[in-house]
A and B are shown apart, each in its own frame.
Chain A
Amino acid sequence: DGGITQSPKYLFRKEGQNVTLSCEQNLNHDAMYWYRQDPGQGLRLIYYSQIVNDFQKGDIAEGYSVSREKKESFPLTVTSAQKNPTAFYLCASSAGAGGTDTQYFGPGTRLTVL
């Protein structure tokens, strides 16, 4: 799995609660990414970070927040403002911040909001 871990694999939360998804990598990669996958939708970019202490919004950032305090870690918080949070969340990393770098994905977290 390329040295990227995500936990937990399955997560259940009640509507209205914030929840934080973990993503850790030991690849010494500078760039990290969060994607959301829904059936038939492919993957959509939520947030990305090119370097520690910096991150940028992706295509669907509303209702999500991130932090990048350490190179190895890029946690994603799904807030109560996210209207449809049930989805498969994938974290990825790449060595550099250039446009040709391969992305390595973690195993994902399936979030179900009840």
Chain B
Amino acid sequence: GQQVMQIPQYQHVQEGEDFTTYCNSSTTLSNIQWYKQRPGGHPVFLIQLVKSGEVKKQKRLTFQFGEAKKNSSLHITATQTTDVGTYFCAKYSGGGADGLTFGKGTHLIIQP
């Protein structure tokens, strides 16, 4: 299926700094989902965005869906060591259940 591009691939931050990962698509998305995978673990669902321009917050995490529904971002304020892991965006192509197409993920590394 069509790819979703995620940047950056790796991000090193000092504990307490902010972090942002971006997800871009060449086509309009019906919705977008975000997952987190801890080292050695499996992806865990974080949130889904559906509406144009939608912003959702989960404590220190802020998720945004672009106005054109072609991009999305995840921002973490004041990172903590528990935020370590890989953050994936994922999309359905729309029009049926053909599984999720995942971005390659952003690996967040936090230095204490």
Taken together as a complex, chains A and B put the C-alpha atoms of A99 and B31 apart, in Å, by 8
- Chain A interface size, as a band, is 20 to 34
Docked-complex contact A102 and B97, CB < 8 angstroms: no
Taken together as a complex, chains A and B put the C-alpha atoms of A54 and B88 apart, in Å, by 28
Q: B78 in the interface, Cβ–Cβ < 8 Å?
A: no
Q: Hey, which chain B residues are within 8 Å of A19, CB to CB?
A: none
Taken together as a complex, chains A and B put the C-alpha atoms of A33 and B98 apart, in Å, by 9
Q: B30 in the interface, Cβ–Cβ < 8 Å?
A: yes
Taken together as a complex, chains A and B put the C-alpha atoms of A14 and B34 apart, in Å, by 36
Interface residues of B in 57-96 (CB under 8 A from A): 88, 90, 92-96
Docked-complex contact A108 and B104, CB < 8 angstroms: no
Assess A97 versus B96: contact at CB under 8 Å? Given A40-B9, A43-B102: yes
Q: A45 in the interface, Cβ–Cβ < 8 Å?
A: yes
How many Cβ-Cβ contacts under 8 Å join chain A to chain B? 71
Q: A103 in the interface, Cβ–Cβ < 8 Å?
A: yes
Max chain B CB contacts within 10 Å: which of A41, A43, A90, A108?
A: A43
Q: Hey, which chain B residues are within 8 Å of A35, CB to CB?
A: 99, 102
Taken together as a complex, chains A and B put the C-alpha atoms of A33 and B93 apart, in Å, by 15
**Inter-chain pairs besides A45-B99, A102-B48, A103-B33, 9 sampled, C-beta below 8 Å:** A40-B104, A42-B103, A43-B102, A45-B1, A58-B98, A58-B99, A100-B92, A101-B97, A105-B44
Taken together as a complex, chains A and B put the C-alpha atoms of A108 and B94 apart, in Å, by 26
Question: Shortest distance in angstroms between B32's beta carbon and chain A's nearest beta carbon?
Answer: 10
Q: A76 in the interface, Cβ–Cβ < 8 Å?
A: no
B50: nearest residue on chain A (CB-CB)?
A: A100
B103: nearest residue on chain A (CB-CB)?
A: A42
